[in-house]
Amino acid sequence: MINADEIISFGLDFNIDIPEAQDEEYRPIKPENFNPEWEKEVQRYMLVSGSMPKNTILYKYEEVPKDLDKVGFQRWALNQIDRCRNGHNGMCGKMYFYFNFCYIQQVGRKIRPKYRVIDNEWFKFETSLQKSNEWGAICVKRRRVGMSWKLAASSLYDCLFNTHYHIGMNSKSQADSEALFQKVKFLYENLPAFLRVPTTKSNTKNYLDFSYVVKDETGNKGTKGNQSTIITVAPTDNAYEGRMLSKWICDEAGKIKNLAKLWTYTEDCLMLETRRVGLPIIFGTAGDIGAEGKDLEHMWRNSEQYKLKKFFFAGWMGLTADEYGNDDKEGGIRWVVYKRHEKEGLRQEELKSFIQKYPLTVPEAFTVITDGGVGNAVKIAAQMMSLRDNPAKAVHGWFRKIGDRVEWVPDMLGQCIIYEHPRKGMEGLYIGGCDPADHNDTFDEVSDLCMYIMKRQEGTDPARVVFEYLDRPSDVTEYYDQAMMAAIYFNNAKILIEKNRYGMLKHWEDSEYKFLAARTPKSISRMKGQREMSYGITMTVPNKKYLKELVAKYIEDTCEFIPSYELLNEFAYFNTKNTDRVMSFGIALMLLADYNYTIQTTTQAVSKTPHFGFRNVGGKIVRVVYKIKT
C-alpha cells in the first residue's frame, strides 16, 4: 500500500509528445467508394451492435509537477493516489492510473495510451467483478486491441494499491507467458517514482514481489512493503497448484488446448474454503473452436455455470475514435464489412480468419478457421445477421394420426418446425433428406437425428427449406414415426435417407411406408459407374465431398432463403464435429439435384396410402400397422 512516507522523488519526465498510431490496417472508407448492397449489411450490424456511453470530456494527461516543494509535491501525489483509488471526473480508478501514469511499448518507442470510452468501460467492468468477490470475467475480443497491456496495467495496479494481493498470469506458452509478464515490468519501470513500491526482495523474469527486506535494531530481518506478488507460469494443468491467488490472468485462452483442465486446477487456488474470493479473467481471440479453441467456446456458452460474466470486445471497438475517445462505430463496422467482401476471393480459411479476428457478433468470434466448414462465410454471416434482425416465421409442434389423416399439432415445445405449410394436392413438390440413427443412446457425444423437407423450385422461386426436425428421443422409433408423418403431411414427400445405419428404412418398410423413401439418386449411381436401384444413400468419402459441393453452391446462390439460424451456424463446424443439420440438408440437396419427377395433382393418394395407429391389446396401448387390402 502506498503511503506518504514512500512518496519520493519527482518521477520521470512525462513531457514526451509521441502520437499514437492507428491500427495499421484501418483506413476509413470514403463516401465515393460506398457500395449500396454492402451498406445494407453495415446498417444491419449497426442495429444489433449495441451502443457505448457518450463522453463529452476532453481529457488531458496529468503531468508530474517540477516546481513544487516537498510538502506541495506530497500533497499533489496523495491527491493523485486518491484519484487512482476512487476515480476522477468520469474515469474509474484503474482507468485514471492507466491513462495518466502508464507507458505502453511499441516497436522502438514507448507511448502513453489514448483515452478510449471502451477502455474505461472495461476497467469499470473488472472493478465491479473484483468487488463482488464471487464473479470472474470471460472476454472474447478482436485482435490487436491492446488487451494484454490493459490487463498488465490492471495487475500492476492491484499489487500497488493492495497488500498481500497475489496474481498468477499465463498465456498460451511459456515464452508468451514471460512476454506478458515483461509488459508488467515495463509498466512498473516507467511509472513515476512516487507510485513505485520497492520490489527488491524478488524481481526476476517470472516473479515480482512488491516488498523489501529490512533489519531491526537487533539485526533481525523483516519484510516491509505491500507483500503482494505476481508470478507467471507456462499453461500446464497444475501450474498454480498449491498457491493462493487473488487474481488469475489467462491470456490467449482461445489457443490453450488444455484450458478446461487448467481451469479445474486453478479455480481451487481462487477459493476460500467453498467460496470463490479470487478474480479469474480469461480472455483472447477465440482460436479454432474445432481444436484448441473449443474449451473457450464451451466456457463462454456456459459462463453462468462457471460464474463468469461476459465481455465482448467487438471488431469495430477501438479501431478509430474522436478526440473524446468515442468510437466511430459506423466507420469501424463499415471497414470490417468492406474488408470481408474484398477478401471473398481468398481461400475460405483466410476469410474466416479475418472474420474471427474482427468479429461483429459473438457467433463470428467463434468461426472455425481450419479447413473445416462449408460455404461462403461472408454470406452466411450476413444471413445470420438478417435472421437476428428479422427471424423467419416458424411454428413448432408435432404430428399425430387421426384415422387416415396426419394432423399437425402446434406446440412451442415441439421439435418439428414448419416454415411453410404444404400446398395440398401437389404431389412431387416436396422432397427431403434425413440423417438418422438406429440406436437409443442419448448421451451428449451421440449425434442427433435430423430431417429437412424442401419445396422444389417453381419458376423463379428457388428451392427452399419448409420443414426442419432435429431430435434425440429415448426411443428412436418415435423419431421415425414423426419423420414418416411429416413426409405424409407434405404430400407424401420422398425422403432420401442415409443408410449407413439401416434402422429407419427397416422401420418404414415394416410400417408399409417404404414408398416414402427415395431411391439412390442417379448422380450418385453415375459416380459409382453403375445403375443402382436401392433405397437411400451410403455416406462414402466421395458422396460426402459431393454433398459439400452442393451445400456450398446453394449457399453461394441462395443463402438468403435459408430460414434456420442453427443450420447457418453449423456450416462453420462442418467436418470438425457432429453437424447433423448440415448432413441432412446436404442429403436433401443430393436428391433435389436430379429429382425431375413431374409435379402433379394427387388424386388417389389417400386410398393407396397404408397407415398405422394405436390399439389397446391386453390392457396395453401398442402401435399396429393396418395392411392394404388387395
- H or E element that contains 213: strand 207-215
Residue-level pLDDT at 98: 97
How many helices and strands in the chain, by DSSP H and E? 20, 23
CA angle 182, 188, 192 (to 5 degrees): 150
Q: Can you read off the three cell numbers belonging to residue 53? A: 456511453
Residue-level pLDDT at 131: 93
Closest to 470 measured CA to CA, from 396, 561, 528, 361: 396
* pLDDT range class, residue 600, cuts 50, 70, 90: low
Closest to 140 measured CA to CA, from 297, 336, 354, 325: 297
Average pLDDT (372-387) is: 80
Q: Is residue 322 classed exposed, middle or buried when 0-12, 13-18 and 19+ CB atoms within 10 A define those classes?
A: exposed
Q: Can you read off the three cell numbers belonging to residue 573? A: 463446424
* pLDDT range class, residue 602, cuts 50, 70, 90: low
Average pLDDT (484-512) is: 86
- H or E element that contains 601: strand 600-601
Residue-level pLDDT at 262: 95
Residue-level pLDDT at 508: 87
Answer with the residue of higher pLDDT: 407 or 614. 407
* pLDDT range class, residue 288, cuts 50, 70, 90: low
Q: Can you read off the three cell numbers belonging to residue 506? A: 427397416
Contact 116, 300 (CB under 8 A): no
For the segment 32-51, what is each residue's pLDDT rounded down to a tens digit?
999 998 998 899 889 888 88
* Confidence check: pLDDT of 14 > 70: no
Long-range contact pairs involving 210-219 (C-beta distance under 8 Å, separation at least 24): 210/159, 210/160
Residues 440 and 280: their CA atoms lie apart, in Å, by 40
User: How are beta strands 202-203 and 207-215 bridged, if at all?
Assistant: antiparallel
Q: Can you read off the three cell numbers belonging to residue 92? A: 474509474
Q: Is residue 283 classed exposed, middle or buried when 0-12, 13-18 and 19+ CB atoms within 10 A define those classes?
A: buried
- Distance between terminal CA atoms of the chain? 95
Contact 456, 447 (CB under 8 A): no
For the segment 75-102, what is each residue's pLDDT rounded down to a tens digit?
999 999 999 999 999 999 999 999 999 9
* pLDDT range class, residue 287, cuts 50, 70, 90: low
Average pLDDT (392-400) is: 93
Residues 433 and 260: their CA atoms lie apart, in Å, by 37
User: How are beta strands 271-272 and 275-276 bridged, if at all?
Assistant: antiparallel
- H or E element that contains 352: helix 348-357
For the segment 165-190, what is each residue's pLDDT rounded down to a tens digit?
999 999 999 999 999 999 999 999 99
* pLDDT range class, residue 348, cuts 50, 70, 90: confident
* Confidence check: pLDDT of 103 > 70: yes
Residues 513 and 54: their CA atoms lie apart, in Å, by 64
User: What strand order describes the sheet that includes 449-455?
Assistant: 405-410, 395-402, 416-418, 464-471, 449-455, 430-435, 494-497
Average pLDDT (243-270) is: 94
Residue-level pLDDT at 420: 94
Report the Cα 305 to chain-centroid distance in Å.
17
Range with the poorest average pLDDT among 22-36, 232-246, 433-447 = 433-447
Residue-level pLDDT at 78: 95
Residue-level pLDDT at 158: 96
Q: Is residue 89 classed exposed, middle or buried when 0-12, 13-18 and 19+ CB atoms within 10 A define those classes?
A: exposed
Residues 566 and 387: their CA atoms lie apart, in Å, by 10
Contact 327, 336 (CB under 8 A): no
* Confidence check: pLDDT of 274 > 60: yes
Average per-residue pLDDT for the chain: 84
Q: Where in the chain do CATH 3.40.50.300 domains reside?
A: 4-25+60-313
* pLDDT range class, residue 604, cuts 50, 70, 90: very low
User: Percent of the chain scored above 70 by pLDDT?
Assistant: 85
* Confidence check: pLDDT of 474 > 50: yes
Q: Where in the chain do CATH 3.30.420.240 domains reside?
A: 395-617
Helix, strand, coil shares of the chain, percent, nearest 5, are 40, 20, 40
Residue-level pLDDT at 11: 33
Query: Where do we find the cell 476509413?
Result: 28
Q: Which one-letter amino acid corresponds to residue 59?
A: Y
- How far is the CA of 161 from the CAs of 130, 154, 181, 187, in angstroms? 13, 11, 19, 15
Query: Domain 395-617 has what CATH class?
Result: alpha beta
Residues 213 and 224: their CA atoms lie apart, in Å, by 6
Instruction: Name the E strands within 296-359.
Output: 308-313
Closest to 14 measured CA to CA, from 76, 100, 94: 100
Residues 514 and 494: their CA atoms lie apart, in Å, by 10
For the segment 113-168, what is each residue's pLDDT rounded down to a tens digit?
999 999 999 999 999 999 998 899 999 998 888 899 999 999 999 999 999 999 99
Residue-level pLDDT at 169: 96
Residue-level pLDDT at 104: 93
Q: Which of 114-123, 220-229, 295-304, 554-563 has the highest mean pLDDT?
A: 114-123
Residues 270 and 262: their CA atoms lie apart, in Å, by 13
Residues 436 and 508: their CA atoms lie apart, in Å, by 12
4-25+60-313 under CATH 3.40.50.300, yes or no: yes
DSSP string for 376-407:
-HHHHHHHHHHHHHSPPP-EEEEEEEETTEEE
